[in-house]
Amino acid sequence: MTGDNPGPGWLKHFPLLADLRRSSGRALAQDGVAGTITAILLIPQALAYALLAGLPPEVGLYASVLPVIVYALLGSSRVLAVGPVAVAAVMVSAALIPYAGDDPARYLTGALILSGLSGVILLAMAALKLGWLTHFISHPVLSGFTTGAALYIVATQLSGLTGIPVPRDAGTDGIVAALFGGRDRLNSETLVFGIGAMVLLFAARAPLLKLLTRLGMQRETAGSIGRTAPLLLVIACTVLSSVFDAHGRWGVAVVGEIPHGLPGLSLHFLAEDGWLQLLAPAAMIAIIGYVESISVAKALAFRRQEKIDPDRELLALGSTNVIAAIAGAMPVAGGFARSMVNYEAGARTQLAAVVTALWVALAALLFTGLLAPLPKAVLAAIIVVAVWQLVDFASLRHSWRYDRGDGAAQAATTVGVLVFGVETGLMIGAGLSLLLFLYRTSRPHIAVIGQVGDSEHFRNVLRHDVRTWPELLLLRIDETLYFANAPRVESELQAHIVEAKQPNDVVLVMSGVAYIDTSGLDVLEALEMALRQNGSRLHLAEVKGPVMDRLAGTDLLAALGRGHVHLSVHEAVAAIRG
């Protein structure tokens, strides 16, 4: 990563330019191939995810040009493929249905506001160093959320696949009820397009790969062929639909006229009202988008022995979404499947992303007019097949087996998304996992320890055969000492001391204490004073450097005196017993 000639200083702010400066022609060609393969995957997905968000399909294309180029310039990941993603799309739809009702213009403006707001939120997090807030989406909650959102997305696409109308604001239960209630309005031809497309798309995955490799084709080549399936399907179905006049003859819902080219940049959405109403959904879209992006980026960067700078990514994704708003597009993020395709196709720099964006722009300029007869059921099938990969119950089993609490939070998130919607489901999961963590840290382990043989080791009296002394009590605290466990630590220390029949000396072993907050300090000070009043003495041992630095100016240390703070338990015992 560090070339011999780093070039001018400002280059380091633009990893792409720095990369290009030292790339060979062959490497550039490799990026061109990877970018093309990614574009083939991206174009049909972009159209489909825009529909999923409730937006005109071209909005997905707009989200795949300028924003992709901006990320390519600013991002620290070499291979992250940015664009519309399914989970963000369904969050956009959940936010905009109550916001815009049946007004398509307001709906579109709302989407731009969501892009802009989520971008500004990410930029603000970068500026205020608040990236750590995004860490509060735990892996199980993210996984449970993704699974729930994917299942919900599948449910929303059943209407498009069958032609049975379903109210746009229906939850999972409403969708099921509407499908049952409207089963006599099933459109068979729509169903044929939808189910046919789904079967072909699923067949183009593992089965096709297996077939082609059995026929002697290389695994990579076979994979690339499989990835063209959605695009080929779109073309084939457009032709079929046009030839048979599926819309006119059978009433199959089709995409309809898509405007040519790309819209000009515009800030007109700034004039719209209702920003405050969209703030919370925008924050959630921003956080989920960022968390997804950064985890893909980190995983791929580490394989390539590169580093990802999380603050830098906040800045890059924030700018990307601000540009998305100005470019008339929906919110974007790094997609997992898309980035993997890009990486496996050999992308080495973000030049691949620029190539992808140019292909999308070309498609928008030249081919969108041809897509009018494309049945929406085909895009619904693309969505279903794409998000089906996100449904992950194995991860739930993994979490549940390792940690019941995490498993429960994960299951609650999935159920919460399906029953209460994406936003509430996410909040339920994040809240539960936070409570769980607080519950755990609120009950720290405290052990009475004693000397192992004649060694300098001291271990738990309950687990090891150790030596103790009646007038000397050694207590080890195995957790950071803070307000939520301070009352319990206080009770337990007091109980141990009362049980030990008021020993002359009490040594607190602090090897597991990474931090002591004011409440913890109060507990120690009260304990010291109470022991002193009863004629006993408190000692500390194995206090970590940063903890000691902080204690330096306190009444506790003044009361103890340096003589009662020992480097190790062994030294403490030696000093106390003479």
- Count each helix (H run) and each strand (E run) in the chain, helices first: 26, 9
- When binding is defined by CB under 8 A, the residue of 209, 299, 415, 452 that contacts a second copy is 299
Binding mask 237-276 for a second copy (x = CB under 8 A): ----------------------------------------
Q: Is 310 in the site for a second copy (CB under 8 A)?
A: yes
Cβ atoms of residues 18 and 7 within 8 Å: yes
Instruction: Report, in Å, the least distance between residue 348 CB and a second copy.
Output: 17
Q: Which is nearer to a second copy, 141 or 153 (CB)?
A: 141
Amino acid identity for residue 501 in this structure? K
Q: Which is nearer to a second copy, 140 or 416 (CB)?
A: 140
How far is it, in rounded angstroms, from Cα 126 to Cα 219?
Answer: 41
Backbone angles phi, psi at 566, to 5 degrees: -115, 145
Q: Is 140 in the site for a second copy (CB under 8 A)?
A: yes
Quote the DSSP letter at residue 481. B
How far is it, in rounded angstroms, from Cα 525 to Cα 527?
Answer: 5
Q: Which is nearer to a second copy, 249 or 501 (CB)?
A: 501
Quote the DSSP letter at residue 314. H
Q: Is 136 in the site for a second copy (CB under 8 A)?
A: yes
- When binding is defined by CB under 8 A, the residue of 441, 453, 549, 558 that contacts a second copy is 441
**CB neighbours of 82 closer than 8 A, spacing ≥ 6?**
67, 68, 71, 75, 293, 317, 320, 332, 333, 334, 335, 353
Q: Which is nearer to a second copy, 38 or 451 (CB)?
A: 451
Instruction: Report, in Å, the least distance between residue 292 CB and a second copy.
Output: 12
Instruction: Report, in Å, the least distance between residue 408 CB and a second copy.
Output: 11
Q: Is 137 in the site for a second copy (CB under 8 A)?
A: yes
- Which one of 63-71, 92-100, 226-234, 398-406 is the stretch in contact with a second copy (CB under 8 A)? 398-406
- When binding is defined by CB under 8 A, the residue of 546, 548, 549, 574 that contacts a second copy is 546
CA dihedral for 340, 345, 346, 352, sign (positive or negative): negative
Rounded to a whole number, what is the distance in angstroms from the first to the last CA of the chain? 59
Total interface residues for a second copy by CB under 8 A: 76
Q: Which is nearer to a second copy, 427 or 484 (CB)?
A: 484
- Which one of 61-69, 327-335, 346-354, 543-551 is the stretch in contact with a second copy (CB under 8 A)? 543-551
- Which one of 51-59, 105-113, 201-209, 546-554 is the stretch in contact with a second copy (CB under 8 A)? 546-554
Site for a second copy in 484-513 (CB under 8 A): 484-488, 490-491, 494-495, 498, 502, 511-512
Q: Is 76 in the site for a second copy (CB under 8 A)?
A: no
- When binding is defined by CB under 8 A, the residue of 533, 535, 561, 563 that contacts a second copy is 533
Buried b or exposed e, range 552-577, using 16+ CB within 10 angstroms? eeeebbeebeeebbbeebbebbeebe
Helix (H), strand (E), coil (C) string for 247-296: HHHHCCCECCCCCCCCCCCCCHHHHCCCCHHHHHHHHHHHHHHHHHHHHH
How far is it, in rounded angstroms, from Cα 383 to Cα 40?
Answer: 15
